[in-house]
Amino acid sequence: MSLTATPDAETRLDQAPAADHPELRLWLRLFTCSTLVETTIRRRLRAEFGETLPRFDLLAQLAKVPAGLTLSELSKRMMVSNGNLTALVERLVEAGWIERQTSATDRRAQVARLTASGRAAFRKMAAAHERWIVEMTGGLAPHESEQLMDLLAKWKASARRAFEGETAA
């Protein structure tokens, strides 16, 4: 299946005069890039490792905190519901990549952490993931990557202010 078979919203809007809807054009360009990257990563994780992006993301969160995270902390970090997270954790426990234990400080909470086999599996996937990202950003010179990071940081701050303004009201 080709992602370029029919023009997407960004391409159609991009054909409008340059002065029309610059903020919308910017958003659609970012969204299109994000979708292309995510689709590629999902396909490659499945093909090379038989894994899904949500499972990879869960392993990545746990790899950052060797002592483990409560399921509630994981849910917040991954921005998923507790129900979705519980199902992901259960499958990774069954695979032997995660262990779950009752929290020493809160008997109601469960702490998930990577097992040795989970760490080894994640390291292989993370190395491949990094290669894929380097490949997909290969068209940018180092200074362009830095400039894009700076600009996206500004946009993120602006979006965060808008979000916080909504939630404060």
36 and 99 co-located in one domain: no
Range scoring the smallest mean pLDDT among 2-16, 17-31, 84-98, 152-166: 2-16
Query: How many domains does the chain divide into?
Result: 2
Map tokens 């899904």 to a residue: 52
For the ranges 17-21, 62-66, 85-89, 152-156, the lowest mean pLDDT is seen at 17-21
Dig out the tokens for 150 from the structure. 């700076």
* Residues in a beta bridge with 99: 113
pLDDT at 66: 93
CATH code of 63's domain: 1.10.10.10
Q: Are residues 31 and 105 in the same domain?
A: no
What pTM, to 2 d.p., does this model score?
0.80
Domain hosting 87: range is 53-161
For residue 153, what pLDDT band results from cuts at 50, 70 and 90?
very high
Q: Are residues 96 and 142 in the same domain?
A: yes
What does the buried/exposed string (b/e) look like for 139-164 if buried means 16 or more CB atoms within 10 Å of the residue's CB?
Answer: eeeeeeeeeeeeeeeeeeeeeeeeee
Q: Cβ of 62: how many Cβ atoms within 10 Å?
A: 25
Average confidence (pLDDT) over 148-165: 93
| pLDDT bucket at 4, cuts 50 / 70 / 90 | low
Q: Is residue 129 in some structural domain?
A: yes
Closest by Cα among 69, 82, 59 to 110: 69
Q: How far apart are CA 124 and CA 122, in angstroms?
A: 5
pLDDT of residue 20: 76
Mean pLDDT computed over every residue of the chain: 89
Which residues, 6 or more positions from 130, have their beta carbon under 8 angstroms from its beta carbon?
A: none
Q: How would DSSP label each residue in 19-79? A: TS-HHHHHHHHHHHHHHHHHHHHHHHHHHHHS--HHHHHHHHHHHH-TT-EEHHHHHHHHT
Distance separating alpha carbons of residues 162 and 123, to the nearest angstrom: 37
pLDDT of 1 > 50? The answer is: no
Amino acid at 168: A
Same domain, 94 and 130: yes
> pLDDT tens across 113-132, in order?
999 999 999 999 999 999 99
**Same domain as 70, residue 2:** no
Q: Is the pLDDT of residue 58 over 90?
A: yes
Residues 33 and 58 in one domain: no
